[in-house]
Structure 1
Amino acid sequence: MTSAQPVPTTVNLAITGASGAQYGLRLLQCLVAAGCSVNVMVSRAAQVVIATETELSLPGSVSGMQEVLGRYAAAKPGQVRVFGREDWFAPPASGSGEKAPLVICPCSTGTLSALATGASNNLIERAGDVALKERRPLILVTREMPLSEVHLDNMLRLTRMGAVVMPASPGFYHRPVSVSDLVDFVVARILDHLNLPQTLVPRWGRNRDDDPAGT
C-alpha cells in the first residue's frame, strides 16, 4: 500500500461492457469486505456481458440491481448503492460530491475513448470526467487485445491526465490453479492502488525463503 494516499471509505465502481465482468464483480465483493461504501454504475452493455459470462442476472431496474448486487457482495444495508445511466444527482456526477476514487472495471475501449475526449454522455463518462478534473484517483481496468493505435493513444492521453491504466493482465508467478486465482491477481493490484489491504495474492518476495531458487 502507498502511505501517501489515504484509505478510502467510499469507492465509485463502474462496470462497462468489456469482457471480464468477473473482475468488477469480484472487486465489488472485496470492497464491501474491506468496509467501503460502494457507488455502483453498470452500463447496459455490461448487463449483457454479466449475463453472458457469469451466473448472475441483473434486473433492469436500479432498485432491483441494487438488491441483487448487495446480496451478491454480502453487503450491509446501504453499503452498496446503484445509480442509473442518467442519474445526474448521483454523488460521482459532481466535483462537489464525496471525494472518492473511481475504478472502471472492466473498462471498454468505448469508455476509454469517451474519457480521453471529455465526453459525458452518461453517468459513467461524467464520473470519469469528474475524477480527472478534480485530480481524484481514476483506475481504468482495460480488457482488449490486440490494441489499435487509437486505443494506445487514448491510454497515453489518459495516463498523462493522471489516470492509472491497468490492463487486466494477470501474472502467473503466484502459480494460479483456477480462473478465480487469475481474477484475484488483478483485483489484488487494484486494491493495492486504492491503498486497501488485500490477502488475495502473496506479496512479491514473501515466499523467497521457502523457495530460494525461485522455481
Structure 2
Amino acid sequence: MSHVKPNREYSRAEYISDAVVHGLGIGGALIAGPVLVTLAAIWIGDPGLVTALGVYAFTLLAMWVCSALYNLVQREDLVSGLRRLDQSAIYFKIAGTYTPFIALASGSLGFLAGIWAVALAGASLIILSPGRVAVLAIALYLALGWAGAVLGGPLVSTLSPLGFWLLVAGGLTYSAGVVFNVWGSLPFHNTIWHVFVLVGTVFCYAAIATEVALAA
C-alpha cells in the first residue's frame, strides 16, 4: 500500500513498526472476515449476501498480505513485481468493500459492475505499465473510493445513519492518510500511512457489520 519510496533507506525501527501494523492488519482480517461471513450465514442466510461478504473478506486479507510482501520483503529483484501486486490489490479491496453494501441494498448491480470494471482497469494499468503511474493510481483510488458518495445515491440512501457515518469516517481516514503515503522524507511515514489504512479499514468493517446486524 505504498506508492512513493523515500529518498533514503528505512531504519530497522521503521521496518519493525510497519511489520507490527501489517501483523495487526493480517491477523484482524483472518479473524474478522470469517466471523462476519459466518454471522451473516447464521443470522440472514442469504447466499448472495454471504458470497458478497466472502468477496469482501478475501479482498481485505489479500490487500494486507500483498502490502506486507511489498513493504517488508527486502529483495531488489522482487520490488517491481511486488509493487504491482500491492497496488493492484488496493483496487480490488475498494471494489470488495462496495460489494456487501450493494448486496444488502438488493440493487444497484449496474453500479457494482461499474466499480469492478474500474478496479479491473486500474489493476491492469498497474500490471501492464512500466511503473510510472503512481500519481494516476492514487487519484484513481480516491475517485473509486468516493464514487459511492457521488454516483451511488440509491445505495447510500439505504444505509442506516450509523453505517453511513462509519463509512464516511473510513473514507476520510483513508484520504487523510494519503498525505503520509506520499511524504517519503518523513521518518516512519510508511508506518503512519498504514496506521491510517488500518483505522480506515476498521471503520469500513464496522459499517458493514452494522448493516448486516440491522438486516438480521
Higher relative CO (Cα under 8 Å, sequence separation at least 6) belongs to 2
Q: TM-score per shorter chain, which class?
A: under 0.3
TM-score (normalised: structure 1): 0.28
Q: Which has the higher strand share?
A: 1
TM-score (normalised: structure 2): 0.28
